[in-house]
Amino acid sequence: MVSQEVRDTVKQLFREYMERRHLRKTMERYAVLDAIYSIEGHFDVEDLYKLMEKAHFRVSMGTIYNTVALLLDAHLIVKHQFGMTAQYEKCYSCETHHHLICTQCGKVTEVTSKALRNTIESMKFRNFTQTHYSLYVYGICVSCKRANTRKLKKQQKTNKK
C-alpha cells in the first residue's frame, strides 16, 4: 500500500513539471499518475489501461502513451525493456534496485545492494551527466536450473538404455 502522502507529493511534482513546461494539467494526466502510483512493481501500458478501465476512468491508449512520456521526462517513472513490451515502474521514494532476469523463463527478480548502488552513482563520466541507471543481470534462476538438471539426468538415463 502506497501512502497517500507519496501520491500527493508526486501529484505536486507533476503539477510543477507541467507548469514549468507550460503543459495543460488535465484530469487524464493526473488520473494516469495516480493509477501508476497504486501499482506495486512493473507494469506495461496494457496493464495500466485495464486497471484504469476497472477503476471507471477510461483513457485512450494514445493518452496513456502521451502521459507516460511526460512522466518519464519528469523522472516520476522509469522505463525498462525486458522483452518486447516496454515495462515501467514508479520511481519516486522507491529504492533503486537491480534486476535479475532469467534467460530461460524470463522471470524478473528485484534485488537491492546499497554498496553497488553507491559505486555506480558515484561514477563520473566524461561529457555525460548521469541521472539514473538500470542494471540487468542475466542468468538462470534456481527453478530453471533444477529443471535443467532433471532433464539432463533423464536424457542420460535414456541414452544408457
Q: Does 102 bind a copy of itself (CB under 8 A)?
A: yes
> Given candidates 10, 14, 29, 74, which one binds DNA under the rule CB under 7 A?
29
x/- track of binding to a copy of itself for residues 50-79 (CB under 8 A) = ----------------------xx------
131 binds, among DNA, a copy of itself, none (CB under 5 to 8 A by kind): a copy of itself
* φ, ψ for residue 91, nearest 5 deg: -135, 0
Q: Does 105 bind a copy of itself (CB under 8 A)?
A: no
Q: How far is it, in rounded angstroms, from Cα 75 to Cα 20? A: 14
Cell numbers that stand for 159 in this block: 541414452
Q: Report the candidate in 109, 106, 37, 101 with the shortest Cα–Cα distance to residue 68.
A: 37
| Contact status, residue 99 vs residue 108, Cβ threshold 8 Å | yes
> Given candidates 9, 38, 66, 96, which one binds DNA under the rule CB under 7 A?
66
